[in-house]
Amino acid sequence: MHPLLARQVRKAGLGTLLERPEVSAFLERVSDAYGAADEDRRLLEHSLNLASDELFQRNRSLEAELAQRIELRQKLDASALEVEANERRYHALFELSPVGIVAFTLPDGHVLQSNDMLLRLASLSREQLQEQGCPELAQAVMAELGDDALPAAEVAGAAPGAGRIQQFGPCERQVSAGAGRLHVMISGICVHQADGRSMAWVILQDISERKATEHRLAEAARSDRLTGLANRASFMERLERAIARIAEGQQQRYAVMFLDFDRFKLVNDTLGHQAGDELLVAIAGRLRSELRASDALAPDSLGNVISRFGGDEFLVLINDLRSDNDALRIADRLLAALTPAYTIRGSEVHSTASIGLVTSGSPVIDAEEVVRNADLAMYEAKRAGRARVVRFNESMHERVTRHVMIENSLRRALADGQLRLVYQPIIELATQRLVSVEALMRWHHPDLGEVPPSEFIPIAEESRLILQLGLWLQRTACEQLRRWQQADPEGAPPTVSINVSQAEMAHGLQFVEQVDTVLRETGLPPHCLQLEVTEREVSRDLKGSLVLLNALHTLGVKLAMDDFGTGTSALGFLRGYPFDTVKIDRSFLHDLVNSADGLAVLHAAVNLVENLGMASVAEGVESASQLAVLQSLGCRYAQGFFLGRPQPPGESAPHA
């Protein structure tokens, strides 16, 4: 019996009835019904459970799909916002870009899109650009792409290369911009579309300012900053081209002039370096106006070239000569143009030029040799008296070689004891008494033999070795006179006279200190030393010379003007300068006996010197007749070969 039915029977108290067969059979049938119903219930519950699980799973799947859809929608919304932001950024970048951007078709250059900067660079309105297109840029792009610009197969629509992108640039181009041309840097991409059409996106950057700067730098590298003339590098390049053109038969002749300006250093020293710069600019202006100079600095351009090599050195290249004599005529014309005074900062400045000339007729190897030869000729012009033109010849090389040898040897001469002093007597004409000796330098070169002072002294002055030689001369002469005084006080000459160079005078009060030191160290009284300066040396710096001479006079040494009468204003020098003695130049004695005019000039010079309270000394006395004339004119002292040749120092002083 089904458990549920059994509980109900017991609960109803029907247990006795169960013993009856018909009741028991009925209850069994009821029990079977209960069992069938119970099975159906279990099957139903199982089915419900299965359906519930399936619904749960389907619900979860739907929830997951919904979540995915929500996430996808959120992503789509975010992407849409990002696309919108990118579009705004692209628009801002495109329209506000500092470079020009344009899209056009190839190969015709039809404009598809452009920004405002492109319009500004092209100096066009959008309508004008749309109408004109960009054919010039399209050609530039096609040139950059070369053979791959528009392959035939792709133009025909073939598949292999369709849709590909090519990059080009960066490259520099000049493009039209309004009425002018514009330097731009272009780069970009070319898109070959599947339908066979091609277009280009091009970025243009204005590089006009950079190109202008490059041009200025290139000009600066080839021109002198101060004068604007060609510089050394540019000149040498042009000269090399001229030499090459002659070798190739394309040009007949050229000439090179090397100009150096006299007294330029004096302008710098007295008026200042800025005034010196102004003088250089004025010189350049005169050269430009006098020559048909080409300002074009291209290496193959013809015409004249004016160059500042440095300092006060200028070079001129003339390419259009018909004959070598034309070069001399042009050089003389330049000399005349450069001679008049310049007005610099309210002061009148004279600075003539010494010009060395080389023509293409001289055998040369290269441009450096041409310039070197012109330089040699210029120094010959200076040596010959300045303010003149000297044409180069081969003998100048020999003189320069000897010049260099002497300069180099002179540096060793002091240390090797090759230099010595000789002493020439100065005689009082009235008594024939020895009143002084002039110390003169001599040099015996181990290979060249005796080198005359007229040769080595100018080289020493030019190389500044004269300062060392001058100090040695002072000390040696003072020591020698001191030895004579100690050996024979009565027979020793009262003074020793030595020459002072321009370089020593330029040292000013330092030179005074040097003289004082030598006198103290040698023990020679200051009044026993006489220093000789020439009229030319004094004229270089009148005020500075006066300060120096007054300081030496205060020191106690005697002062003599040497070579009196060789300058242009000798009479003015004698007033206000503390000279004790004036040495009248030997030129006054030349042909004195046969020249009445010469006698009158000499007489006037002696009277002038003596009336000013100074002692007159005649130089270069070589005959008895000259001596007699000097005595009759009242000249106080004299020296010369007739009275006594320069002698080496001995135990006793030189004598007449």
174, 189, 212 - which closes a domain: 212
**Same domain (yes/no): 280, 190:** no
Q: With pLDDT > 90 as the criterion, what percentage of the chain qualifies? A: 39
Condensed to tens digits (0 to 9), the pLDDT of residues 72-93 reads 888 888 888 888 888 778 777 7
Q: How far apart are CA 39 and CA 133, in angstroms?
A: 92
Q: Is the pLDDT of residue 24 over 90?
A: no
Look over the chain and give the mean of its residue pLDDT values, rounded to a whole number. Answer: 85
User: What pLDDT shows up at residue 655?
Assistant: 60
Q: Which of 152-166, 307-321, 349-363 has the lowest mean pLDDT?
A: 152-166
User: What pLDDT shows up at residue 299?
Assistant: 40
Condensed to tens digits (0 to 9), the pLDDT of residues 152-206 reads 444 344 444 456 788 888 988 888 887 788 889 999 999 988 888 889 999 999 9
**Same domain (yes/no): 348, 374:** yes
**Same domain (yes/no): 234, 195:** no
Q: Residue for token digits 């920004």?
A: 115
47, 68, 89 - which closes a domain: 68
Q: With pLDDT > 70 as the criterion, what percentage of the chain qualifies? A: 89
Contact in structure between 152 and 158 (CB atoms under 8 Å): no
**Same domain (yes/no): 605, 634:** yes
Q: Could you tell me which residue, 636 or 73, shows the higher pLDDT?
A: 636
Q: Is the pLDDT of residue 536 over 60?
A: yes
User: What pLDDT shows up at residue 222?
Assistant: 82
182, 212, 242 - which closes a domain: 212
Q: Is the pLDDT of residue 140 over 70?
A: yes
In Å, what is the CA distance from 377 to each residue of 237, 292, 324, 364, 384? 22, 24, 16, 15, 10
Going by pLDDT thresholds of 50, 70 and 90, the confidence category of residue 146 is: confident
Q: How far apart are CA 209 and CA 213, in angstroms?
A: 6
CATH of the domain at 242: 3.30.70.270
**Same domain (yes/no): 297, 322:** yes
Q: Would 317 be classed as within a structural domain?
A: yes
Q: Would 126 be classed as within a structural domain?
A: yes
**Same domain (yes/no): 389, 422:** no
Residues spanned by the domain of 40: 3-68
Q: Would 108 be classed as within a structural domain?
A: yes
Q: Would 87 be classed as within a structural domain?
A: no
Pull the structure tokens for residue 596: 């009445």
Question: Any residues with CB less than 8 A from the CB of 144 and at least 6 apart, and which?
Answer: 168, 169, 171, 186
Q: Would 92 be classed as within a structural domain?
A: no
In Å, what is the CA distance from 342 to each residue of 225, 277, 280, 281, 308? 21, 13, 10, 11, 18
In Å, what is the CA distance from 81 to each residue of 58, 77, 94, 253, 525? 34, 6, 19, 79, 107
User: What pLDDT shows up at residue 294?
Assistant: 41
Condensed to tens digits (0 to 9), the pLDDT of residues 212-243 reads 888 888 777 788 889 989 999 899 999 999 88
Question: Stretch 576-590: mean pLDDT, rounded?
Answer: 88
Q: Is the pLDDT of residue 15 over 70?
A: no
CATH of the domain at 176: 3.30.450.20
Element (H, E) at 259: strand 255-261
Contact in structure between 371 and 315 (CB atoms under 8 Å): yes
Q: Would 89 be classed as within a structural domain?
A: no
Nearest CA to 540 out of 264, 347, 336 is that of 264
Question: Any residues with CB less than 8 A from the CB of 192 and at least 6 apart, and which?
Answer: 150, 154, 161, 162, 163, 164, 165, 166, 198
Question: Stretch 344-370: mean pLDDT, rounded?
Answer: 86
CATH of the domain at 509: 3.20.20.450
**Same domain (yes/no): 378, 292:** yes
Q: Would 523 be classed as within a structural domain?
A: yes
**Same domain (yes/no): 483, 608:** yes
> Which of 252-266, 523-537, 592-606 has maximum average pLDDT?
523-537
Q: Tell me what percent of the chain is helix, strand and coil, each rounded to the nearest 5.
A: 50, 20, 25
Contact in structure between 103 and 199 (CB atoms under 8 Å): yes
Q: Would 104 be classed as within a structural domain?
A: yes
Nearest CA to 202 out of 122, 256, 310, 147 is that of 122
Global pTM reads 0.55
User: What pLDDT shows up at residue 654?
Assistant: 63
Q: How far apart are CA 171 and CA 107, in angstroms?
A: 19
**Same domain (yes/no): 484, 447:** yes
User: How many domains is the chain partitioned into structurally?
Assistant: 4
Residue type, 385: G
Going by pLDDT thresholds of 50, 70 and 90, the confidence category of residue 567 is: low
**Same domain (yes/no): 593, 474:** yes
DSSP letter, residue 74: H
Q: Is the pLDDT of residue 295 over 60?
A: no
**Same domain (yes/no): 242, 318:** yes
Residue type, 106: L
Q: Is the pLDDT of residue 32 over 80?
A: no
User: What pLDDT shows up at residue 157?
Assistant: 44
Pull the structure tokens for residue 426: 């100065």
In Å, what is the CA distance from 347 to each residue of 314, 338, 341, 359, 538? 23, 17, 10, 37, 20
Going by pLDDT thresholds of 50, 70 and 90, the confidence category of residue 13 is: low
Nearest CA to 317 out of 382, 242, 388 is that of 242
Q: How far apart are CA 365 and CA 373, in angstroms?
A: 11
User: What pLDDT shows up at residue 642?
Assistant: 94
Report phi then psi at 312, rounded to 5: -105, 25
Positions of E strands within 71-179: 100-106, 111-114, 165-177
**Same domain (yes/no): 200, 228:** no
Question: Stretch 451-476: mean pLDDT, rounded?
Answer: 92
